Structures are given as structure tokens and as C-alpha cells.
Amino acid sequence: MAAVSRGFHGRGRRDERLPPGQRDIGDGFPVLTAGPTPHTPLDEWDFVVQGQVDGLHRWTWEEFGALPHEPVTVDIHCVTSWSKFDTRWSGVPIDTLLEDVETAAEYVVAFSDGGYTTNLPLEDLTGGQAWVVDTYEDEPLAPEHGGPARLLVPHLYFWKSAKWVRGLALTSFDEPGFWETFGYHNYGDPWREQRYAGD
């Protein structure tokens, strides 16, 4: 009986971290890609904050690397229904990248090499909720997982964490991105199971 009780407790603790409709992928880390993997040379890479801002804010790879990084350990949730617990990253908080940016914008389009885009409310990128990460499990972020750098917004479905991210366009209007224009939910909260428009 005791063993059965421990089993139930163990499963209960794990399930508390699983949003509805998700399963624990364990050690796996599936690669989902909608196009060829870009391989932008680092001396051509930059990250920009543009749009409804006071001028262009731009960092080269070297300048980005010199910004204060912080470790992040989070659970991630893919809309295809896998979740992965305790993923370890290192990156620059979006708060840092927006520190000197004056804007009245309420929305952001993250854009990437290869043409991928995703849209988010600006308030979901600030307040310690999002990063541009360049390290995964103590190693430089691999190209198949979005390296050299990707967005990390763990409280939303993982398609919002744009791979190969190159910048943020701040706007006063909400502009649906690659999956959002294909019937996926505009916001994508895994805890409310917002997979598709209308969910």
C-alpha cells in the first residue's frame, strides 16, 4: 500500500506542472521546424529593437555577448502537446534590451532569420518573463534549437519563443505572426489550452 501511495503522490506532483492536454517528454527535445535552418555568420548577426521606438537600438553579436546574462531554469510547453521540465538556459532579459527604449507601443512582433514571426503583447515580454537566450544546458545554443539566439517566453506555448530571433518590432497594433495567421491562438496560454483561435 505504501508503494502505491508514493506512486500516486509522485504522479500528482508531476501533473501539477503539466498544463491541460500536455505530456512530459522527459529527456527528449523534439525539433519542430517550418523551414530550412538558417546559419547566419556571427559577424553578420545583430539584434535590433525597432518600430515605434526612439530610433534604432542595435547590438552586434559581440555587444550582445557583453550584456549581462542570467541563468534561467523553466518548464516549456509545445502546442503539439509535449512539455519539458527544468530546461536550463542563459540569456539577456528583454527588460535589459528595452531598458533605454522609449515607446508607447503595446505589441511586439518578434522576427527571425528565415522569415518567421510571432506576435506578443509587450507586457508579456517584460517584468522578468522573457529572454533572448544563447546558451542551453551550458552549451552554445545549437542551430536546430534556434541558435545562435532565440526568444524564450516560457509562460506561453513554445512557438512564441521564436528560434533564430533577430529583433523585436514594437507596434501600436497587434499583427498576427506565422502560426497566428494559420489559425493558432493569438495569445497561446498553455494553462488555458489556447492552441487554436477560439480556444
- Judged by the rule CB under 8 A, the positions of this chain that interact with another protein are 30-36, 79-80, 115, 159, 179, 181-184, 195-196, 199
In the complex, least distance from residue 23 CB atom to another protein, rounded to whole angstroms: 16
Measured from the CB atom, the residue of 119 and 135 that comes closer to another protein is 119
Q: Can you read off the three cell numbers belonging to residue 51?
A: 518600430
Measured from the CB atom, the residue of 34 and 56 that comes closer to another protein is 34
Burial (CB < 10 A; 0-12, 13-18, 19+), residue 67, is middle
Measured from the CB atom, the residue of 41 and 198 that comes closer to another protein is 198
In the chain, the amino acid numbered 81 is S
Cα(53)–Cα(168) distance, integer angstroms: 11
Measured from the CB atom, the residue of 182 and 191 that comes closer to another protein is 182
Cα(48)–Cα(33) distance, integer angstroms: 23
In the complex, least distance from residue 115 CB atom to another protein, rounded to whole angstroms: 8
In the complex, least distance from residue 37 CB atom to another protein, rounded to whole angstroms: 11
Q: Are residues 132 and 92 in contact, defined by beta-carbon separation less than 8 angstroms?
A: yes
In the complex, least distance from residue 80 CB atom to another protein, rounded to whole angstroms: 6
Cα(1)–Cα(11) distance, integer angstroms: 16
Measured from the CB atom, the residue of 80 and 172 that comes closer to another protein is 80
In the complex, least distance from residue 136 CB atom to another protein, rounded to whole angstroms: 19
Cα(45)–Cα(20) distance, integer angstroms: 38
